[in-house]
C-alpha cells in the first residue's frame, strides 16, 4: 500500500465520521424541534429579584443528564447573565437572544455535580428543573461570582418551592 492510498483512505474515513456526527446532531435537533415554538423569548418587565453571571452549561431531559436538548439559544454552552424574576429565570447567553425559563409550570433548583460535557467539584452546578412545552427539563448553570445557595433560594421562591 502506498502512502497516497493510505492518505486517501484516512481522509475518506474522516469524511464518513464527520458525516455521521452531522447526521446524529441533525436527528437530535429534529427530535426536539417541537420545543422551539414554546420557548419564551420575551423578557419580563418586572424588576429582577437577583442578578448573577455564570456559565450556561446545558439543558437536558429531566433526570437524563446525558440527553441534551439542542434548541435555540439553549443549544450550546456559553457565558451568560441570569436574572431571577417572579415570572421565571431569564438566561442571556453571550451572542444569543435572551430566553425565559418560565415559572408557570413550576421551577425547582438544586445542586448537581455533572451533566453532559461538564464534570465539576461536588455540587458545583446549579440545576434548574422547569417545564418546557409540556416536557420536564433540567438546565445546568455554573455560578461564577455569586453564592449558589442564594441563587437556589431565589429560584425556589419564584417557583413555589419551600426553601
pLDDT tens, the chain, 163 aa long = 799 999 999 999 999 999 999 999 898 889 889 898 888 888 899 999 999 999 999 999 999 989 999 999 999 999 999 999 999 999 999 999 999 999 888 899 999 988 887 778 877 899 999 999 889 999 999 998 888 999 999 999 997 765 5
pTM of the full predicted structure? 0.85
Q: Which fold has domain 37-158?
A: PH-domain like (2.30.29)
d(Cα 148, Cα 110) in Å, to the nearest integer?
A: 9
DSSP assignments along 15-53, one per residue: HHHHHHHHHHHHHHHHHTGGGGGG-B-PPP-SPPSEEEE
The domain spans of the chain are: 3-31, 37-158
Amino acid at each position: 500500500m502506498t502512502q497516497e492510498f493510505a492518505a486517501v483512505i484516512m481522509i475518506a474515513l474522516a469524511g464518513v465520521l464527520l458525516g455521521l456526527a452531522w447526521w446524529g446532531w441533525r436527528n437530535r435537533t429534529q427530535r426536539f424541534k417541537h420545543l422551539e415554538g414554546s420557548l419564551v423569548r420575551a423578557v419580563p418587565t418586572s424588576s429582577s429579584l437577583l442578578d448573577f453571571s455564570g456559565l450556561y452549561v446545558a439543558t437536558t431531559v429531566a433526570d437524563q443528564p446525558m440527553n441534551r436538548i439542542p434548541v435555540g439559544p439553549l443549544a450550546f454552552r456559553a457565558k451568560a447573565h441570569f436574572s431571577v424574576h417572579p415570572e421565571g429565570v431569564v438566561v442571556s447567553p453571550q451572542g444569543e437572544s435572551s430566553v425565559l425559563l418560565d415559572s408557570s409550570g413550576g421551577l425547582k433548583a438544586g445542586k448537581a455535580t455533572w451533566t453532559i460535557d461538564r464534570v465539576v467539584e461536588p455540587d458545583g452546578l446549579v440545576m434548574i428543573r422547569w417545564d418546557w412545552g409540556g416536557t420536564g427539563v433540567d438546565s445546568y448553570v455554573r455560578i461564577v461570582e455569586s453564592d449558589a445557595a442564594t441563587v437556589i433560594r431565589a429560584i425556589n421562591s419564584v417557583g413555589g418551592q419551600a426553601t
